[in-house]
Structure 1
């Protein structure tokens, strides 16, 4: 064979694909659509690193509150270039709202990214998504919480996502509340470079990331490999005609590879179009509270080039591999005869090889360094590829023993006996996806406890914790909460700081003020009545007992060198005997210490030195109770902080990986459904004349419809069973690698199987109208 024979034969196959009449075009387009869907998702995946980096850059560029934590920044002096900024983040209907209050201190105060002009007091600029929400009926409560007039929108440089809820509002009097944490003075926006370097990620979390990527991308690869084999039976009949005019067997295979190459190249074009359309759609949707701008999704040039080369090359290799056992002769294709039985032994070697690669890492856990990324990736890939290797054998072995039954069952079984490989290929992708999902679900459920810690908060006693600034009396907070719909109960206290001198006190103590009922929620009291003062017994706190002595004058809010509230200290004289109290292990305030004082023991003049807090229990029958409490708190203090109590909290890195999995899984599910539908339509197109002939001979449409459904249901059922087995094995191995006890959450496993089956049911229902149109006698007409 000459060196130029390959290019000539491949080029001939390309010409046949595009000049072979309607039949060639339909097959090429179907192949291109299937390949294009996979290519679009691959391009999207290759764009994820760029999107994440851009989001981080945008977040860093607008950083403000983070600057005030640095000592040198917190001491920025007032000038015509400074801006006082306060963190006013909130939540609405379970979604985060990024809020900043601004007070410029001069005409050259810095502008936040995406903002052309600083809002005046009482005005705000909002993100497009927030503007849309405020104008809708669903944003009524949030509109009450933000009593500012909208005068503009935040541009893309000031947002990390197209659906982000964010605002900048102008206020007065903010400089008086600078505290070096939530309120501070800055002269520029942007994150200060951290020279210390970040901490290394936990090895188990890295393992999660590697497995997530493999599990999400494997179905894509399987679907692309399936798509390039669309129309295989008709193609082989055309190749037999080529043998009749003088082509040898190798030449016909190369021509077939050229046809597949044409479909793959056209699929690259389709995939690019699908990706561009999907990129624009991504700018208007939000998945698991994550959104991006279309401009974020720019595929890596290197990865995009790899996709451009790998997809056509894979199409050629898959076609040559598929034709290795097909004998194409001038008078026909020896595939319609009963094929030789598939062998099991080499199919078992694929998953066993995967287990062998993962075996050395069993028990490694997070204390023995990072997992070998090449062995993890190869091992997981081989196990999942094992599903595609075993499924054709399983389908063939099952249908070989079937036969008796209704007419529709016999038609389906006979068809599967003749083309079990085609049926298995159609469900390979869903089987791989379900197997990977089961393994991931087991791994996530198993290691979740390592990244979930108890908060120690009793959610039966409080659902929300509200913290207000100074100058809000407890009585006012109590009255407002009592009038708030959805509040079932509340415990209200105030906090302050007490010293033995006005300036630079030698001894100081934390102070908690409330009525007797509220103080009993904090500590165990011997007895309590108005006017009592208590000192908590704490081995680490020796100042409180010494401070609180009858007749001694103490000072609220003492001042310190370089900070504090010089000149605003408030004197208070201890009038009564100080009682001893013990902290409660389940105190609402957590680790409480210092002095407990009943409200009547303090004069009203002390109020400006205190900050009020409330622990609120909600009525679950009021769905928007949380937002109503937030509105009440914001009306009293725009900088009010509210925390939702939970019994546990999850690691941020673990939660991010889990969110990424959900977003990726949603994209893969869409691909699975679309690809299955295209594959089903291609199968129906191949059987058009057969179905029409059966109808012409009097076969009932109901019988044919049921036979087609059985042809889908049998491989799907076998594929799901096989995916359960492989998924459980892979999940158990991954848990052993992470040094976690092997447990199976059967509810989650069955839910994964249910999702896979649900996708197939939806696809089957969508394919019924085309099926009914194909079952017409006029389908026997030919050109």
Structure 2
């Protein structure tokens, strides 16, 4: 039967070859996406393993290996993070950092290629003076988390490095376990589900192409003695043949686009092309699993043949879907509403609430889709003013499951991407970098923590004299921190007007550490409360931070940063601008947003193909009824409107419901998790959705010319 199935698959005429090509194309896209997802997970883990090598674990001492003093700190330049590693070997057997040939000595350093480019293209007083010494060369890919990583490995003496913050003695490097990144893997998994679901719909729709004729052929085989098992083998062989060819093309597509895919910053940083690798298990999973899945889809799509040899002729109108299909959808929304009042403290507990809620909504949308299609069809029929609208509405209401089946993938994909884009847009807006031109965007502050180092008496004067600096002041520690409203103190005469003023009659004010409260904006109208500490006691209190206000230019900000770092080389927290960390976090989120946009575009394209295949299959199966309508006087344009409305109306209705539910779920998640109010996505998101839907409609329109050619008078004859 396998050989017979192969002959039917490849020697069944133009219709069979067309069906094989469509199934192969669907499988090629699906397998390529699956390979990309698996390679993306491997790339994330590989990247995190290299990132972990920058933070080795301290050794307990002993052994024959000379320890290496190690201190890792973070710096920033133009909003980009720089990782600085200070090392000092205590003997000839000390380990060497990953990616460089030797450990640098005092006055020497290695830099990543991107860092060397920055050092060469910017004035030394803005960046180079922070890393004095002789450049020994570049750090290799093995020591970099990403091709664009900004990394410097500075050499020093053991005594000097031992006094740096976070200094540790290590006897091995490069073997630290990778930090778990369940969030990124979870996002990749959810996006993969959002992509693969429409692919499976596409495969199932392509398999159903000309299903009526194939069912009749298989039924005839049953009547001449073929068993249900033999029929299943023939159907499975036909689908598996196309699936094997499509899977091979999917591997070729992945190999061709692997380099481009590696450049997408899913984690905020692009990957090396070699990171997008596949393991042996991954290859076998796709090479064997995808054809097997296609074979199962083929058997399920032709299940009516296995009822009886006459099962094809025993067709009745399926029962109408009931409103009970809305229950899972409402339960999912209810879970997210419940999370507004109860949010577990642990990440595991939060996942146990939010993830089931989102999955319930996704499952509920798919289950409720036929009911929504039926309701929309009945409304359309009630207000139909033309024959085409009435025919299309009656057909959709007669079998809403079939009408919804081809566009169910787009519903899930739009929901997933709407949740992702809505959440990411809001977080970036709330926690992104300081707005350009704002006071805080030009504020550079250095926080000293518990141990305040001694500073030159001329430091503030030197800072004020620098080009682009408007003011520089010191904030001292508030001794009444437990009862005070703010942790710092400043003399009212030293408080810059851009950050507010003291309450009337006060000499000393309680202020925020950087004069800009956390997650707030600087304001000249802010009124700081009076402090109980006398003005004369300020000189005896330790300095908590130094705050420098600049004109906001990149040159002034980086020049100020360089002065502070060279004055305090043993900094624990580098001089920063409000939003430095948030800017890095926002870059990561934008990488996920790019992934969401890819999901939208790909899902809409697959949905359009599924609709096209569904339309072609429906036209083929209804050639005789449409021919009879033409003979009875119905113009071809009326029949075209019928076919267009049957496909376009459910798709547009489902798109609106999916986007609305996605934004609602995003709002509930943000309110429960972060107390944020949803900020609607920008025009780009809606533009992508509209362009994609228009492309789907165009694909549907391209199939309509077939209607006239296949519904001639000769087709109306009784078969």
Pick the TM interval, shorter chain: 0.5 to 0.7
1:223 aligns with: 198
2:321 aligns with: 343
2:127 aligns with: 145
Q: Please point out which of 261, 264, 268 is paired with 1:289.
A: 268
- 5 Å-filtered alignment, 1:196-595, equals 215-231=190-206, 232-241=208-217, 243=219, 246=224, 250=228, 255-287=234-266, 289-298=268-277, 310-324=289-303, 340=318, 342-344=320-322, 347-348=325-326, 351=329, 365-366=343-344, 381=359, 383-402=361-380, 404=384, 424-437=404-417, 463-466=443-446, 473=456, 475=458, 478-480=461-463, 482-485=465-468, 487=469, 489-493=470-474, 517=494, 584-586=510-512, 588=514
Q: Is 1:757 the equivalent of 2:692?
A: no
Deviations, residues 127-178 of structure 1 (Å, cap 9, x unaligned): 344456667xxx64699513677653322220122332223356xx766744
Structure number having the greater helix percentage: 2
Structure having the higher Rg: 1
Give the drift of 1:432. Answer: 1.2
Distance 1:338 1:164, change over 3 A: farther
Give the drift of 1:63. Answer: 2.9
Give the drift of 1:113. Answer: 0.5
Q: Is the 8 A contact 2:476 2:490 kept in 1?
A: yes
Q: Is the 8 A contact 1:491 1:518 kept in 2?
A: no
Q: Is the 8 A contact 1:123 1:150 kept in 2?
A: yes
Give the drift of 1:331. Answer: 12
Q: Is the 8 A contact 2:9 2:238 kept in 1?
A: yes
**What is the alpha-carbon distance in structure 1 between the residues aligned to residue 185 and residue 92 of structure 2?**
51
Q: Is the 8 A contact 2:112 2:139 kept in 1?
A: yes
Q: Is the 8 A contact 1:60 1:190 kept in 2?
A: no
Q: Is the 8 A contact 1:218 1:381 kept in 2?
A: no
Q: Tell me, which stretches of 5 or more residues in structure 2 are unaligned?
A: 433-437, 478-487, 518-530, 713-719
Deviations, residues 320-379 of structure 1 (Å, cap 9, x unaligned): 4434468999999779x9954643367456657879999999977426995598998777
2:482 aligns with: none
Distance 1:514 1:100, change over 3 A: farther
**What is the alpha-carbon distance in structure 2 between the residues aligned to residue 420 and residue 219 of structure 1?**
23
Q: Is 1:154 the equivalent of 2:154?
A: no
2:55 aligns with: 63
Q: Is the 8 A contact 2:28 2:250 kept in 1?
A: yes
2:546 aligns with: 614
C-alpha RMSD over aligned residues: 6.5
**What is the alpha-carbon distance in structure 2 between the residues aligned to residue 494 and residue 176 of structure 1?**
31
TM-score, L = length of structure 2: 0.67
Q: Please point out which of 31, 35, 59 is paired with 1:39.
A: 31
Q: Is the 8 A contact 2:441 2:577 kept in 1?
A: no
Q: Is 1:180 the equivalent of 2:163?
A: yes
**What is the alpha-carbon distance in structure 2 between the residues aligned to residue 221 and residue 128 of structure 1?**
38
Distance 1:494 1:209, change over 3 A: closer
Q: Is the 8 A contact 1:241 1:331 kept in 2?
A: no
**What is the alpha-carbon distance in structure 1 between the residues aligned to residue 490 and residue 340 of structure 2?**
55
Paired residue secondary structure (2:204): coil
TM-score, L = length of structure 1: 0.62
**What is the alpha-carbon distance in structure 2 between the residues aligned to residue 588 and residue 375 of structure 1?**
37
**What is the alpha-carbon distance in structure 2 between the residues aligned to residue 219 and residue 276 of structure 1?**
22
**What is the alpha-carbon distance in structure 1 between the residues aligned to residue 640 and residue 125 of structure 2?**
55
Structure number having the greater strand percentage: 1
Distance 1:36 1:482, change over 3 A: farther
Paired residue secondary structure (1:89): strand
Q: Please point out which of 96, 105, 119 is paired with 1:111.
A: 96
Q: Is the 8 A contact 1:229 1:260 kept in 2?
A: no
**What is the alpha-carbon distance in structure 1 between the residues aligned to residue 83 and residue 650 of structure 2?**
50
**What is the alpha-carbon distance in structure 2 between the residues aligned to residue 287 and residue 355 of structure 1?**
28
2:481 aligns with: none
Q: Tell me, which stretches of 5 or more residues in structure 1 are unaligned?
A: 1-7, 453-457, 497-510, 529-580, 603-609
Q: Is the 8 A contact 1:459 1:645 kept in 2?
A: no
Distance 1:122 1:15, change over 3 A: farther
Q: Is 1:98 the equivalent of 2:83?
A: yes
Paired residue secondary structure (1:286): coil
Paired residue secondary structure (2:85): strand
Q: Is the 8 A contact 1:39 1:272 kept in 2?
A: yes
Distance 1:777 1:243, change over 3 A: closer
Q: Is the 8 A contact 2:403 2:646 kept in 1?
A: yes
Aligned length: 660
Give the drift of 1:98. Answer: 1.9
2:652 aligns with: 717
Deviations, residues 385-441 of structure 1 (Å, cap 9, x unaligned): 332233234334423553646899789768867986565334322211333455678
1:645 aligns with: 578
**What is the alpha-carbon distance in structure 1 between the residues aligned to residue 649 and residue 277 of structure 2?**
41
**What is the alpha-carbon distance in structure 1 between the residues aligned to residue 124 and residue 20 of structure 2?**
53
Paired residue secondary structure (1:90): strand
Q: Is the 8 A contact 2:444 2:577 kept in 1?
A: yes
**What is the alpha-carbon distance in structure 1 between the residues aligned to residue 277 and residue 7 of structure 2?**
33
Paired residue secondary structure (1:616): strand
1:540 aligns with: none
Deviations, residues 648-700 of structure 1 (Å, cap 9, x unaligned): 999x9x99997896575355335424423543564576699999x99x99x99
**What is the alpha-carbon distance in structure 2 between the residues aligned to residue 53 and residue 229 of structure 1?**
33
Give the drift of 1:719. Answer: 0.9
- 5 Å-filtered alignment, 1:659-738, equals 662=593, 665-666=596-597, 668-679=599-610, 682=613, 713-723=648-658, 727=662
Q: Please point out which of 49, 54, 61 is paired with 2:46.
A: 54
Deviations, residues 38-96 of structure 1 (Å, cap 9, x unaligned): 334434444555444433432333336x74xx8x78xx9xx996766665632233221
Q: Is 1:166 the equivalent of 2:151?
A: yes
**What is the alpha-carbon distance in structure 2 between the residues aligned to residue 382 and residue 685 of structure 1?**
33
Distance 1:774 1:190, change over 3 A: farther
Q: Is the 8 A contact 2:266 2:595 kept in 1?
A: no
Give the drift of 1:729. Answer: 8.2
**What is the alpha-carbon distance in structure 1 between the residues aligned to residue 160 and residue 661 of structure 2?**
60
Distance 1:440 1:410, change over 3 A: same
